[in-house]
């Protein structure tokens, strides 16, 4: 989550950033804006953050002027040492209105409101993603026809432990360790295989449930997966996909 702090008192900005990092150490905090003019310029020339923490009294006036000079596309939590601006605050994109000095409990309450009103609606969550992933068309590939000598042969999908892509060629690795080249891309195979049995770990690997040999934690929330028949390399699952992968396994 990217959060923009608009605050003309450096100690208040420091305090707020520390509280935000306490609640979510992975959040990205952008700060240093102390005036209406700086804030308008920044908002007009940068991608919108997910949330703005905005002091009401800035160096050059009340921050409500920002909304008159440019479009504010994201929700706002107002902060102030004065309570006479509450009505005006809720006329704009306000999630909450916090009085200084801001406590961790007050900020957590405001962030919970933000998550409930905005994040949860936009993001279906891990369970929702898993449901979407598993609810694809039930007509899945059962076998492959591939060239063999002067003719063809078939490979049953049940023989395949995993697929991988290397140098723009897709390979199927069978349970007996044999590897067969396929004409399909991993994107094709992801659509054609049963998502209850196959999972796309990353750009290189699409694996079956039976091929998972070992799983280890990796740095920054990632996972390392060793697959069977054992690959020379560990397949790395990104931090973003790791929760979905774990839910896929834990059904």
Dump pLDDT digits (tens) for 57-102.
898 988 889 988 998 888 889 888 766 555 455 555 567 788 888 9
* DSSP reduced 3-state for 185: coil
Identify the structural domains of the chain with CATH numbers, from first to last. Answer: 2-123 (3.40.50.2300), 132-249 (2.40.50.1020)
CA dihedral for 64, 65, 68, 74, sign (positive or negative) = negative
The two structure tokens encoding residue 71: 């479009």
- Is residue 227 within 8 Å of 218, Cβ to Cβ? no
Model pLDDT, residue 8: 92
Weakest-pLDDT range from 22-31, 82-91, 180-189, 211-220: 82-91
Model pLDDT, residue 136: 53
Element (H, E) at 148: strand 143-148
Share of the chain above pLDDT 90, in %: 45
Residue spans of alpha helices (H) in 83-232 = 86-89, 104-114, 120-122, 125-134, 186-192
Model pLDDT, residue 184: 92
Dump pLDDT digits (tens) for 160-174.
999 999 888 999 999
For the beta carbon of residue 230, count every other beta carbon within 10 angstroms.
11
State pTM to two decimals.
Answer: 0.48
* Cis amide bond preceding 229, omega within 30: yes
Q: Which residues contact 14 (CB under 8 A, 6 or more apart)?
A: none
* DSSP reduced 3-state for 193: coil
In angstroms, the Cα distances linking 101 to 22, 33, 62, 137 are 16, 19, 19, 54
Dump pLDDT digits (tens) for 29-65.
999 899 999 999 999 999 999 999 999 889 898 888 9
Dump pLDDT digits (tens) for 96-154.
788 888 999 889 988 888 887 776 555 545 555 555 555 555 578 899 999 888 889 99
For the beta carbon of residue 4, count every other beta carbon within 10 angstroms.
23
């Amino acid at each position: 989550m990217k959060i923009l702090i608009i605050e003309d008192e450096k100690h208040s900005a420091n305090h707020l950033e520390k509280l935000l990092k306490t609640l979510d150490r992975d959040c990205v905090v952008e700060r240093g804006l102390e005036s209406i003019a700086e804030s308008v310029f920044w908002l007009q020339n940068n991608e919108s953050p997910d949330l703005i923490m905005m002091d009401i009294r800035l160096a050059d006036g009340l921050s409500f002027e920002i909304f008159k000079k440019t479009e504010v596309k994201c929700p706002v939590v107002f902060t102030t040492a004065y309570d006479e601006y509450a009505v005006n605050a809720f006329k704009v994109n306000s999630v909450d209105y916090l009085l200084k000095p801001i406590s961790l409990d007050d900020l957590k309450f405001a962030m919970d409101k933000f998550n409930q009103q905005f994040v949860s609606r936009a993001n279906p969550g891990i369970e929702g993603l898993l449901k979407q992933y598993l609810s694809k068309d039930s007509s899945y590939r059962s076998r492959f026809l591939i060239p063999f000598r002067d003719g063809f042969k078939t490979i049953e999908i049940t023989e395949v432990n995993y697929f991988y892509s290397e140098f723009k060629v897709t390979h199927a690795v069978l349970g007996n360790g044999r590897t067969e080249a396929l004409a399909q891309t991993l994107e094709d195979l992801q659509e054609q295989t049963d998502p209850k049995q196959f999972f796309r770990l990353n750009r290189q690997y699409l694996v079956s449930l039976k091929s998972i040999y070992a799983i280890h934690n990796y740095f920054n929330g990632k996972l390392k997966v060793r697959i069977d028949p054992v690959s020379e390399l560990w397949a790395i699952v990104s931090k973003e996909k790791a929760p979905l992968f774990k839910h896929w396994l834990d059904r």
